[in-house]
Amino acid sequence: MNAEPARAALDTTRPLAIAVMAMGGQGGGVLVDWIVALCEAQGWVAQSTSVPGVAQRTGATVYYIEVLPLPAGAPEGLRPVLSLMPVPGEVDIVIGAEFMEAGRAIQRGLVTPDRTTLIASTHRAYAVIEKQAPGDGIGDSNTVVAAAEAAAKRLVAFDMAAAAEDSGSAISAVMFGALAGAGALPFAREAFEAAIRETGIGVEASLRGFALGYERAKAPVAPPAAAPAKIAPVIASPGEGYAALLARARAAFPAEAHDMLAAGLQRVVDFQDLAYGEEYLALLGGILRLDNAAKGHALTTAAAKYLAVAMAYDDVFRVADLKTRASRFARVRDEIGVPEGEIVHTTEFMHPRMDEVAGSLPAALGRFIERRPALFRALDRVVNRGRRVKTTTLRWFLVLYVMAGMKRFRRGTLRHQNEVAHRDAWLARVMDAAPRDYDLAVELVNNRRLMKGYSDTHARGLSKFDRVMTAAATLEGRPDAAEWVRRLREAALKDEDGIALDGALKTVDSFLH
């Protein structure tokens, strides 16, 4: 045991430390300038630093501030020695301008339970690696919530991007308001507002954003918005025939499947007609006969979903129909926020190829062309071109409208025959497997998720689907077959070129041989 060293002469004052975690272009610099101006106006000493560099081009970056008051009666010229980098474990306030950036602050050790107030916006700006996955690559915000609860002394969190939009302001102003509302700095609200007024740029908007941030910071933590609930569409006024069909479906199928069934039935009838809905129910009925109540009718529920997706494929009639609906026109106006009285024109980017055209022809004619590669190529040269379609002009609207109306001929098209053949082969595999390995059958249904996109994307999806289905055949009979098929599918959704799938297939190969 050593004697306590002579510390008496040393002052134990510490500065108040603030770290701002932001993305380039989010206005983190503006926020930092306000905080510095605020503290200096209160007679405090303030030092801020940043490392903008290339990070200002949308990358993650950290701003760091240390502030403190000079002691009473301080000699002239007394200046503190402040750190230029955030010190893990010694940061009093962390402001996360985006939720994963708040998570990054926790990861870096800047948020600690003994002292840190974490002020975080719960909104997400997805990083490229989250967006580019062919499946769902979004990081789980709840992980940040849990980590914040563990690491922060106090958490102030709400959607500041939404608040900025609501107040017609920028997120920096809302964050500054949240900082004031959190009460982590010993200054009055008016002092914060004075700092905004001092800059003289966009003062009114910033004050609105500030006010909203201030108010929301006082409210209990608002957790990040959950994914929207999957809602079976509610039909405002279904035709009589549809109402009867739906009622029949409800009577014939178990309750667990009802929600998905309603969504699926609506989709296929909307895609074609009531008869197509009957066809859907008939096919699904075949699956139901193989299902197991003890398993919660998982097979029927899964099939209700993916059978509808398979039956309501995207062809030219479908696209033309969706693009010309009144509901779509309304959605566009809503999404881009067009003020009343202003005009919107929409232009679609379409690129039909001979494949799509041949698919839309009567099956015999389509096949005739398909079997003559030279003819097919010649026609493709005429057809295969990017076309910009101005849906809001009468001419183009009519073209699409008529094309949408031609869906009544759909059943006779080449595309439909091909889709039906593929669908039936898939269902046959499912129905074949179900009696022997129920769980595997469910996974075979779910594999339909791999097929999506158009043209090359569709071809890649189809190839992944085929590879997983082939592997499933070799796995059948093993107790863990279902689990492995699930893993293969997850891998296939990870990247475009199927690199993860290749790896997973190799693993499967290694224990099969």
Partner 1 sequence: MAERSFAREVRDLELGEGEEFRGEGILALTKALLQSGVGYVGGYQGAPISHLMDVLSDAQELLGKLGVQFSTSASEAAAAASLSASMMYPIRGAVTFKSTVGTNVASDALANLASSGVTGGALIIVGEDYGEGSSIMQERSHAFAMKSQIWLLDPRPDLPSIVKSVEDGFQLSEASSTPVMLELRIRSCHVHGSFIARDNKRPPYTLAQALDQPVRDVNKIVLPPASYVQEKEKIEKRWPAAVAFIKEGKLNETFDGDLADIGIALQGGMYNGVMRALQRLGLADIWGKTRVPLYVMNVTYPLIDDELAEFCASKRAVLIVEEGQPDFIEQSVNTILRRRDINTRLFGKDVLPMAGEYTPDVMLNGVRAFVSAAAPDALADADRAPNQPAIADDPRVKALAGAVPPRPPGFCTGCPERPIFAAMKLVEKELGTHHVAADIGCHLFSILPPFNIGASTMGYGLGPASAAAFNVPSTKKSISFIGDGGFWHNGLTTSIGNAVYNKHDGVIVVVDNYYASATGGQDVLSSRADNASRSTKHPITKAVEGVGATWVRQIDRTYDVAKMRDTLKEALASKEPGPKVIVASSECMLNRQRREKPLFNKAVKGGQRMVRERYGVDEDICNGDHACIRLSGCPSLSIKRTSDPLKDDPVAAVDNSCVGCGNCGEVAEAAVLCPSFYRAEIVHNPSRLERFAARIRAGVIGWLQARRAKRMPVCS
CB-nearer residue toward partner 1: 351 or 436: 351
Among 28, 134, 224, 366, binds partner 1 (CB under 8 A): 134
CB 147 within 8 A of CB 106: yes
Q: Which of residues 166-225 bind partner 1 (CB under 8 A)?
A: none
Determine if 340 is a binding residue for partner 1 (CB under 8 A).
no
Q: Which of residues 365-394 bind partner 1 (CB under 8 A)?
A: 386, 388, 391-394
Determine if 76 is a binding residue for partner 1 (CB under 8 A).
no
Determine if 449 is a binding residue for partner 1 (CB under 8 A).
yes
Q: What is the DSSP letter of 3?
A: P
- The site string for partner 1 over 93-132 (x = CB under 8 A, - otherwise) reads -------xx-xx-xx-x-xxx-----------xxxxxxxx
CB 32 within 8 A of CB 62: no
Stretch that binds partner 1, among 13-21, 182-190, 370-378, 434-442 (CB under 8 A): 13-21
Neighbours of 143 (CB within 10 A): 13
Determine if 423 is a binding residue for partner 1 (CB under 8 A).
no
DSSP string for 10-50 = S-----EEEEEEEETTS-HHHHHHHHHHHHHHTTEEEEEEE
Q: How far is the CB of 125 from partner 1 (least distance, A)?
A: 7
Among 20, 23, 357, 492, binds partner 1 (CB under 8 A): 23
CB 464 within 8 A of CB 509: no
φ/ψ of residue 389, rounded to 5: -110, 115
The gap from C-alpha 71 to its chain's centroid, in whole angstroms, comes to 51
Determine if 344 is a binding residue for partner 1 (CB under 8 A).
yes
Q: How far is the CB of 394 from partner 1 (least distance, A)?
A: 6
CB 260 within 8 A of CB 304: yes
Among 18, 31, 119, 151, binds partner 1 (CB under 8 A): 151
Closest CA to 28 of 85, 89, 98, 115: 98
Determine if 43 is a binding residue for partner 1 (CB under 8 A).
no
Residue 74 CB-density burial (10 A; 0-12 exposed, 13-18 middle, 19+ buried): exposed
Q: How far is the CB of 344 from partner 1 (least distance, A)?
A: 5
Q: For 215, what's the count of Cα atoms within 13 Å in the CB-facing half-sphere?
A: 9
Determine if 40 is a binding residue for partner 1 (CB under 8 A).
yes
CB-nearer residue toward partner 1: 2 or 510: 2
CB-nearer residue toward partner 1: 215 or 314: 314
Query: How far, in Å, are 92, 199, 253, 488 from residue 66 at the CA level?
Result: 10, 21, 65, 51
Q: How far is the CB of 512 from partner 1 (least distance, A)?
A: 28
HEC sequence for 459-478? HHHHHHHHHHHHHHHHHCCC
Stretch that binds partner 1, among 340-348, 362-370, 371-379, 427-435 (CB under 8 A): 340-348
Determine if 79 is a binding residue for partner 1 (CB under 8 A).
yes
- The site string for partner 1 over 261-300 (x = CB under 8 A, - otherwise) reads --xx-xx-xx--xx--x-----------------------
CB-based contacts of 423: which residues, under 8 Å, 6+ apart?
307, 310, 311
* Residue 331, H or E segment: helix 326-335
Determine if 27 is a binding residue for partner 1 (CB under 8 A).
no
Q: For 165, what's the count of Cα atoms within 13 Å in the CB-facing half-sphere?
A: 5
Determine if 90 is a binding residue for partner 1 (CB under 8 A).
yes
Determine if 4 is a binding residue for partner 1 (CB under 8 A).
yes
- Strands 154-158, 117-121: pairing kind: parallel
Determine if 48 is a binding residue for partner 1 (CB under 8 A).
yes
Among 27, 42, 58, 399, binds partner 1 (CB under 8 A): 58
Q: Which of residues 221-250 bind partner 1 (CB under 8 A)?
A: 227-233, 235-239, 241-242
Closest CA to 35 of 165, 173, 169: 173
Determine if 452 is a binding residue for partner 1 (CB under 8 A).
yes
Q: How far is the CB of 211 from partner 1 (least distance, A)?
A: 22
